[in-house]
Amino acid sequence: MIKIAIGLLFGVLVFYVPNSGKAGVSLPINLTFIGWLGFAVIAVAWRYRAQTAHFRPQPQPLIVTGGVLLLLPWLFQARGNPGVWVLFAAILLWCTGMRLQLSEQQKRRLCCVIFLLSLSQTVLCLIQSLQPQLAAKLMEYDWLRNHGRPYGIFQQVNVLASFLATGLGCGFLLLLTERHRFFAGLYTVGLMLLAFCLALIQSRAGALGAIGVIAVLLLAQGSQCWRRAWLPLIAMAGAAASGWYLTQHVQIIVDGVPYLLAREYEASTHERWNILLITWQMIMQKTWLGWGYGTFEYEFSRYVLAHPELPYTYSSIVGHPHNELLNAWFQGGIIALLGVLVLLVGWIVILLRAWSRNRINAAYALLVVPLLIHLNFEFPFYLSFFHFGLFLLLLRMGVMDIPAPVKTPSSGMAIQRAVFMLAGMGLMVFSALGLRANQQLTELERNNYAQFPHPVPWYFATQFERVQFDEMVALLMRYNTDHDDAQLTEFMSRAQRWSQRHNDRNIWQSMIMISRFRGDKAQSEALLAIYPRLFPLYPLQKP
């Protein structure tokens, strides 16, 4: 069953399901991964039904402690913040993984699987960048909107980049420890392809992750690996240079018009730096308790509007400070910050213990570096649950297994198996319901909410905030047919609550139009006073 689960994972990472984007469970890739994870839990529970291991992982109390500290302030605000349950599930998965033995051979096989999975994404990467028409047909990829930068199955450029960088790290470690020239040659070809695609993506987080993991692996393996590594390193550098040349000089024809893939960094760098500085100022105002979970989008915008002296012009929605440490501190205060720091110390402890044993164990502990770097630039775990699972797996691979007494099967083990299988089935059911809801909501959204069900089916709740937004828009659509003033009243009530957490120009435009229609001068003027500052790129049409 485990081999079947691995095979299914390849399918999950290349199978595109039409959707409307965004993050979390709004992305089908996250839902399909949840379903796959449920199957994997069942497969592992079945495989280890009579485990009598002579080894067990070294306990890692700091990882659990850090996760719980990060979880606690979030739990107190769990209503309206469903992401807390993802973190809760991650802690349970970690605890489950710490009950399983991983031999060095199994760790090497896992590295190989991650390497091959990353190579499978390069196929999508090349299609999206170099074959715009085919990419549009296969994956609804909009070349012009994305400037030709591929995002694979993950639908976000930097998320793909950090995954390829992680795969590159796994492949490079396999290369350094491979004794057969033929397989070393195959690894080198795969690494060249990954380096070429990372250059196409033009992601700073991905490039830093790839360079960082190669550097630390070389340091961990010592001087004896340089003779084996210098030629592949030259080949990878040449592949990356070829990818860079293509982005700067080769034109791609889209709808008969030639375009370059090259992107500009200066404006993005300046904007993100200012966002970090403003976030720091806000944290200093509420250092201990934080601003609350799920409030960054709203609070950041209002803070910027209230402080025009800041060197930042609000022109687009900012939903994250682009740094997970500051994001945790901003939302959950000092307890959440402490949780992140304890997790970081926990990883350092894993690394030091592995280093004290041998170099290969230290190398496994360093494979998480690309994802750690990505966490300092963005928020990959909200966009890709697969990355969250990969992060936990790589952490577990870094943990050494130590001798332990042999355990004989007991009745308690049968109960544990049953619990894990029920949990796995629960994940698969949630995945199926979420995919069904996603498919229906996507069709309704693309058909301008025609025949939107009222009341909505119960399983639409798996889409959380997305269905709340769609219900608001559907109220307006029904009003155009029914002309029931109660529907406008309900919309305004929901829209005002929504606008206390999110900035959506379409919702604001509708609120302004309704206020004008109802003759509510005070409300319309209050909305009009803020709208042009929140959405300066989308001026309102005069009534």
Position 364 scores a pLDDT of 96
The DSSP line for 317-378 is -----S-HHHHHHHHHHHHHHHHHHHHHHHHHHHHHHHHHH-HHHHHHHHTTHHHHHHHTTS
Question: Of 399, 414, 409, 410, which is closest to residue 56 (Cα–Cα)?
Answer: 399
Strands 401-403 and 257-260: unpaired
Quick count: other Cβ atoms within 10 Å of Cβ 328?
25
Asked if residue 316 lies in contact with residue 271, where contact means CB atoms within 8 angstroms, the answer is no
The stretch 295-322 carries a mean pLDDT of: 92
Give the pLDDT score at 311. 86
Q: Please give the average per-residue pLDDT across 26-44, as a whole number.
A: 94
Residue-wise pLDDT for 510-532, tens only, equals: 999 999 999 999 999 999 999 99
pLDDT at 385: 95
**Following CA atoms 29, 35, 41, 42 in sequence, which dihedral angle do they give, to the nearest 10 degrees?**
-150
Say yes or no to pLDDT of 417 above 90. no
Q: How far apart are CA 140 and CA 132, in angstroms?
A: 10
pLDDT on residue 114: 98
In this predicted structure, the answer to whether residue 48 has a pLDDT above a threshold of 70 is no
R_g of the chain, CA atoms, integer Å: 25
- Distance between CA 57 and CA 37 in Å, rounded? 22
Of 113, 123, 98, which is closest to residue 398 (Cα–Cα)? 98
How much is the pLDDT for 222? 77
Instruction: Quote the pTM value.
Output: 0.95
Q: Check residue 543 and give its pLDDT.
A: 63
DSSP per position, 274-308: HHHHHHHHHHHHSTTT-S-TT-HHHHHHHHHHH-T
Contact predicate 329/290, CB 8 Å:
yes
Residues 6+ apart with CB under 8 A from 468: 494, 498
Q: For residue 83, is pLDDT > 80?
A: yes
pLDDT of residue 405: 67
Q: Rounded distance, CA 481 to CA 164, Å?
A: 50
- Kindly state the average pLDDT of the residues 194-220: 95
What sign for the dihedral angle of Cα 474, 476, 477, 481? Answer: positive
pLDDT for 79: 83
- pLDDT above 80 (res 65): yes
**Are the C-beta atoms of residues 139 and 150 closer than 8 Å to each other?**
no
Burial class (CB in 10 A: 0-12, 13-18, 19+), 541: exposed
pLDDT above 60 for 51 = no
Residue 373 has what pLDDT? 96
pLDDT of 406 > 70? The answer is no
CB atoms within 10 A of CB 318: 20
Judge whether residue 280 has pLDDT over 90. yes
**Residue 260, H or E segment:** strand 257-260
Q: Which of 41-50, 71-80, 314-323, 408-417 has the lowest mean pLDDT?
A: 408-417
- Residue 540, SS3 per DSSP: coil
pLDDT of residue 49: 53
With beta carbons less than 8 A apart as the criterion, state whether 287 and 264 touch: no
pLDDT 10s digits, 116-153: 999 999 999 999 999 999 999 999 999 999 999 999 99
**What is the per-residue pLDDT for 213?**
97
Above 60 in pLDDT, residue 44? yes
Task: Tell me how many degrees the CA angle 262-264-270 measures, rounded to the nearest 5.
Answer: 160
Please, which residues have CB within 8 angstroms of residue 463's CB and are 6 or more apart in sequence?
Answer: 25, 26, 434, 437, 438, 441
Give the three-state DSSP class for 275.
helix
Note the pLDDT of residue 243. 96
Token output for 217: 């692996």
* Residue matched to tokens 């497969």: 43
Amino acid 275: pLDDT: 95
Q: Do residues 164 and 38 make contact, with C-beta atoms less than 8 angstroms apart?
A: no
- Does residue 154 sit in helix, strand or coil? coil
* Residue type at 9 in one-letter notation: L
Strand partners, 257: 254
pLDDT (tens digit per residue) in 4-27 = 888 999 999 999 999 998 889 999
Report pLDDT for 82. Answer: 87
Q: Would the pLDDT of 407 be above 80?
A: no
Question: Is the pLDDT at 52 greater than 60, yes or no?
Answer: no
pLDDT by residue (tens digit) across 95-104?
Answer: 988 988 888 9
User: Which of the four pLDDT bands, split at 50, 70 and 90, describes residue 210?
Assistant: very high
Among all chains, which residue has been given the structure tokens 């775990």?
Answer: 381
Q: Is the dihedral of CA 160, 164, 165, 170 positive or negative?
A: positive
CA atoms within 13 A on the CB side of 193: 20
Q: What is the mean pLDDT of residues 315-330?
A: 93
